Structure 1
Amino acid sequence: MTKPSGGIVRVQKRDSGYAIIDPWFLSDERLTWKSKGLLAYLLSKPSNWQVYVTDLVKRSKDGRDAVYSALKQLEECGYVERSQKRNEDTKKIEGMETIVYERPIIDEPGPDFPLTDFPDMAKPDADNSTQVINDLNINDSKKKMNKSATADILKSLSKALRKLPLNDTATLYDQYFADIYAMLTRRFSGQLEPEAIGLAADRYFQKAVDLRTGLPKESVYSPVGVFYDCYAEAVAEWTAEQFKRKCSG
């Protein structure tokens, strides 16, 4: 059998059926090629596309352990986020929901992002299911705020993100409004405040924008992750200010 040479590798593609994905993760040296391949497959699917993890195992010859370890690495590097899925009426836990991001929302796992084992399921069932959701434009259906409060949050976030540059022609609102809102509603349920969002935007500008050029710093590769850090600091500051006002009043 002839051994493969180290020469040019040519890629042939069909004229149709292309998928548009952010290629940033392909250069992320923290990821194995296995993880990059799985992430590319997940991101090639439409928004809110769902699949059972066990179905991913069936669609590849890599085997169960390879798929689960790839998902685990994607979670560790911030491309995958997992949370409990509850029935809206009974509040009973129905399983785990897995959200997949184009760019990592965290630099490294911390106490607020505990890593969890993916369940070893022989087959999916209604009571113990794990789903993967391609979260390119996701609206959080689990928020417990009333409509007027939600409108205030959306309006404040929209106003804040329109002031933050993504590049020389677009703002964070243009590309990351849905992702940042989804992240905030999951990570800060019950802690979303218009004033805190404004504080977070100010912190984001100070951390992520070059004051000389007015453009984002080259080191910022995950706007969602940076905004998470900024909001965590902002909500702590806002909470402290509310406490001081209450005590002084």
Structure 2
Amino acid sequence: MSQIFRVERTKNYTVMSNQYFKNKSLSLKARGLLSLMLSLPDDWNYNMQGLTSLSRDGIDSVRSAIKELEHHGYVQRNIVRNEYGMFTDTEYIIREVPLGQEND
């Protein structure tokens, strides 16, 4: 028999969709990273170094999880360029439900 211990959630918690938790095509690493990303404030800088600083995983591990999430439509990365066409930043769009499945 198993027991579940729950903490009363009155502040500092995140409500997320169960959809991606149950998606068997995602690794546990990708699910965990997506959960972490969804728990961060909207204005947080989602660069590789910043995401790596939030866990003990290295940058290669974080990069592979991002690629997996991109492949499945949960993360979209857009290159931001200035008026001279030079790279200035990366914009991240993070979804609880993958692109194209929003109305399912």
Q: Aligning the two structures, in what range does the TM-score lie when normalised by the shorter sequence?
A: 0.7 to 0.9
TM-score by length of 2: 0.80
Q: Summarize the alignment of residues 89-128 of structure 1 with structure 2, pairs less than 5 Å apart.
A: 89-106=83-100
Partner of 2:57: 62
Task: Tell me what 1:25 maps to.
Answer: 20
1:50 has 2:37 as partner: no
Q: Distance in 2 between matches of 1:33 and 1:70?
A: 9
Partner secondary structure for residue 23 of structure 1: coil
The aligned residue for residue 222 of structure 1 is 102
Deviations 1:104-130 (CA, angstroms, capped at 9, x unpaired): 114xxxxxxxxxxxxxxxxxxxxxxxx
Residue 71 of structure 1 is matched in structure 2 by 66
Matches of residues 1-12 of structure 1 in structure 2 within 5 Å?
7-12=2-7
Bigger radius of gyration among the two? 1
> Deviations along 1:45-81, whole A, 9 cap, x unmatched?
2334323211211211122222111111101100011
Partner Cα distance (1:99, 1:29) in 2: 22
Give unpaired runs (5+ residues) of structure 2.
Answer: none
> Relative to structure 1, is the Cα distance of residues 46 and 96 closer, same or farther in structure 2, using a 3 angstrom cutoff?
closer
Supply the RMSD in Å over aligned alpha carbons: 2.3
CA distance in 1, matches of 2:50, 2:8: 25
- Unaligned 5+ residue runs, structure 1? 1-5, 107-220, 227-249
Amino acid at match of 1:94: T
Aligned-pair CA distance for 1:14: 4.7
Cα distance in 1 for residues equivalent to 2:63 and 2:89: 17
Q: CA deviation at 1:9?
A: 4.0
Structure number with higher relative contact order (C-alpha < 8 Å, ≥ 6 residues apart) = 2
Query: Higher helix share goes to which structure?
Result: 1
What is the DSSP-based 3-state SS (H/G/I as helix, E as strand, rest coil) of the residue aligned with 2:14? coil
Q: Distance in 1 between matches of 2:59 and 2:8?
A: 28
How much identity, in percent, do the aligned residues show?
Answer: 31
Distance 2:102 2:10 in 1: 32
Partner-residue secondary structure (3-state), 1:59: coil
Q: Tell me the alpha carbon deviations over residues 129-188 of structure 1, each in whole angstroms, 9 at most, x when there is no partner.
A: xxxxxxxxxxxxxxxxxxxxxxxxxxxxxxxxxxxxxxxxxxxxxxxxxxxxxxxxxxxx
Q: Deviations over 1:15-55 (max 9, x none)?
A: 31122222321111111111111101111223343232112
Question: TM-score, with normalisation over the residues of structure 1?
Answer: 0.37
* Whole-Å separation in 1 of the counterparts to 2:5 and 2:64: 29
